[in-house]
A and B are shown apart, each in its own frame.
Chain A
Amino acid sequence: MMGQQKLRTRFKTILKHYRAKDYHAMKTDIRRFFFGMRFTDGLIFKTSIYALLISLGYIYLYPMLYMITNSFMTMSDIIDVSVRWIPSTLNWENYRIVWQAIDYPRAFREAIYLAGIPALSATVSSGLIGYGFARYNFPLKKLLLVLMIMTFIVPPQITMMPTFRMYANYGLLGSMRAFVYPAILGQGFNGAIFILIFYSFFRMIPKSLEESAQLDGAGPLKVFLKIAVPLAIPAIIIVFLFSFVWYYNETYLSGLFLRGSNMMTLPLRVEQFINNYTSLYPEGSPARELMQAAKLAGNILTILPLLILYFFTQRYFVESIDRTGITGE
């Protein structure tokens, strides 16, 4: 890091002048050390940047830490005020309760399935659509692009009810098709964002590559599959991951469309378990207190797959925005 080096050399000049007993020069050096040539490269500025980052980072991670530590607490730990952060014993009981109650392995598989298949359909369709918008000119293209972006702003509450009727009429309620069909037609959750990601990604690929393939006799579909898709693998991963996470976490529409069926997303299943469990015990009873920890354990189990996924693929998540071309290339 350049900044750190500069600070080090400045510190060395202070020492040098101190040894030479040149106190006047030393005073300037010290001032320069703390305030820098233009404040932003001085020590004070640097320290405050890190202090702010660390405190904001703490605020961001606080709920996570709270969840993790409290989920391990026993009943006595929760009631005991002296136990704030570190549980007295590592208590896996809470996890065991939830694990068994919701039949975690099965619920987990179902959640992956419920999020994965719509996400996959959304990725395929938005890839095709984004490519069409990025590479071809056709009448009304501008208008269609605007309409596509508009679909992001219209809240699902507006379209929810007619869609619900439609699904009810065609018997799609309580089945995964209620999510797959919109996804495959480019209208899944936040579909507009995914189309935009592909749109800007395909626009960045030099057109000459595709033109040379065309000269060699490849049709449009072949060009798409053999040239564009292999080049767009980062975009494909980004879109799939985001789509997966959003489908996994979605509870409003899935709560509506999957009502009364056995299928449920993991967050909904944990919520249902909690509601059932709480209604068994009266307010203020010890079992209710224990519940607090069990609920948090349930939440940890819900987000654990996502955390693991995020841990391995964070690069794609945090670089995603650069790829949307929002900043205007």
Chain B
Amino acid sequence: MKGILEKISAIIDRYLATPLSRLIDKATHNKMLMVSHTDITFFGKVKIRITNKRRESVIGLGFILLWIVGYLIFALYPVFYSLYLSFFKVRLDGASIQLAYVGIGNYRAAFLQDPYFVEILINYVLRLVLNVPVTIVFALIIAMLINQDVKAKGMWRTIFFLPVIISSGPVIAELMNQGATTLPSIDNYTFIDLIITNVGAFIASPIEALFAQILLVLWFAGIQILILLAGLQKIDKEIYEASMIDGASPWEAFWKITLPSIMPLISVAIIYTVVSMSVFSLNEVIIYIRNIMLGESTPALTTGYGYSATLSWIYFLAMALIIGIFVGAVTIRKKVTRT
């Protein structure tokens, strides 16, 4: 790595430095633009002093210039363009694009006319509401287990992080198909049947799905375990010792020391969980959105691009709402415990 860099800079020094510096000299010492050590003059009239602060801003902006350009092209423009399109009926004629303003018609159609979307979205939201706490709790348990005085910490971290490396859509789809993502003996637990028979199908089906895919839920916890583990390791051991001397049990120490200390990281882990589950390629909602966009599933009301833009915005808002609720719940609790 170092050797390559040195070679590159040697080549630059040898062949490019002289012509480049001559070129830069020409570009900065002419009638339009005159650069001296203390100031820049445009057309011999407008004079700007070079201060250290200004020089620093220009260099800094130069470093992040790539990002600014990328942000405008690949983030800001698409976001607003898709928001704009979500109010239109879009028809494609070859390369040209025809827009017909429909106001909130697309949004109304999504909720009132689309036979599938609302159902898929509600199912997804319910599943997320169940899965996120389960993921976080498991991640916290595993992180705390590894953080104990155990042997082969590295090996445990390696095992629990492994799913992050290998979980791509098709691999997981195949495992799900063959029933390898559910615990082998989970059908034997009668309490799941109990839940399913005793509460309405509306609530029971996500719970059932949660247990059927419990391994998948756990597999999503890889990064979160590391996040929480990093937080646990940062907590000062002396605080625990002090609390022990004052007679606190490990149970109390967990609620009064551990949990409050890693609360901010739990928020981070929640955001990460929601985002990673929402953009995972097996998620039905995003598959539905893509199919609408490509015109593969054509409900009677299909309006192609415009409609898929509407759906993605509804989806994004639902996701943001869930993040807001979870993170809000976590931070409110923190405030209560502090007072």
CB–CB A53/B145 < 8 A: yes
CB–CB B315/A2 < 8 A: no
Check if B9 is an interface residue, CB within 8 A of chain A: yes
Chain A: CB-nearest residue to B250:
A40
Check if B286 is an interface residue, CB within 8 A of chain A: yes
CB–CB B159/A57 < 8 A: yes
CB–CB B168/A137 < 8 A: no
CB–CB B63/A321 < 8 A: no
Main SS of the interface on chain A?
A: helix
Check if B205 is an interface residue, CB within 8 A of chain A: no
Contact check: which of A135, A186, A306 meets B165 at CB < 8 Å? A306
- Distance A79 CA – B289 CA, assembled complex (angstroms): 38
CB–CB A154/B316 < 8 A: yes
CB–CB A136/B218 < 8 A: no
Contact check: which of A39, A220, A327 meets B59 at CB < 8 Å? A220
Total cross-chain contacts (CB, 8 A):
292
Question: If the complex has contacts A57-B159, A157-B286, are A233 and B82 also in contact, measured as CB distance less than 8 A?
Answer: no
- Distance A161 CA – B157 CA, assembled complex (angstroms): 38
Contact check: which of A60, A162, A268 meets B218 at CB < 8 Å? A60
Check if B319 is an interface residue, CB within 8 A of chain A: yes
User: Cβ of B78: which chain A residues have Cβ within 8 Å of it?
Assistant: 158-163, 166
CB–CB A318/B158 < 8 A: yes
CB–CB A154/B79 < 8 A: yes
- Distance A155 CA – B93 CA, assembled complex (angstroms): 28
User: Cβ of B1: which chain A residues have Cβ within 8 Å of it?
Assistant: 230, 233, 236
Question: If the complex has contacts A62-B215, A226-B9, are A187 and B75 also in contact, measured as CB distance less than 8 A?
Answer: yes
Q: Number of A residues contacting the other chain (C-beta, 8 Å)?
A: 103
Chain A: CB-nearest residue to B74:
A187
- Distance A318 CA – B162 CA, assembled complex (angstroms): 10
Within 8 A of B (CB), among A253-275: 255-256, 267-268, 270-271, 274
User: Cβ of B275: which chain A residues have Cβ within 8 Å of it?
Assistant: 152-153, 155
CB–CB B149/A2 < 8 A: yes
- Distance A154 CA – B309 CA, assembled complex (angstroms): 13
CB–CB A161/B281 < 8 A: no
User: Cβ of B278: which chain A residues have Cβ within 8 Å of it?
Assistant: 155
CB–CB B230/A158 < 8 A: no
Closest approach, in angstroms, between the C-beta of B339 and any C-beta of chain A? Answer: 23
Closest approach, in angstroms, between the C-beta of B259 and any C-beta of chain A? Answer: 15
- Distance A49 CA – B64 CA, assembled complex (angstroms): 47
Q: List 8 A-B contacts (CB under 8 A).
A: A133-B60, A185-B66, A229-B5, A309-B165, A314-B161, A317-B161, A318-B161, A327-B230
Residues of A within 8 A of B (CB): 1-4, 38-40, 49-50, 52-53, 56-57, 59-64, 66-67, 70, 125, 128-129, 131-133, 135-139, 141, 144, 147-148, 151-166, 168-169, 182, 184-187, 191, 195, 220, 224-226, 229-230, 233, 236, 245, 248-252, 255-256, 267-268, 270-271, 274, 292, 295-296, 299, 302-303, 306-307, 309-310, 314-315, 317-318, 320-322, 326-328
Knowing that A138-B57, A157-B315, A226-B5 touch, tell me 14 more A-B residue pairs with CB under 8 angstroms.
A57-B156, A60-B162, A125-B66, A137-B53, A144-B64, A147-B75, A151-B71, A184-B70, A185-B67, A185-B74, A224-B63, A252-B169, A256-B294, A274-B174
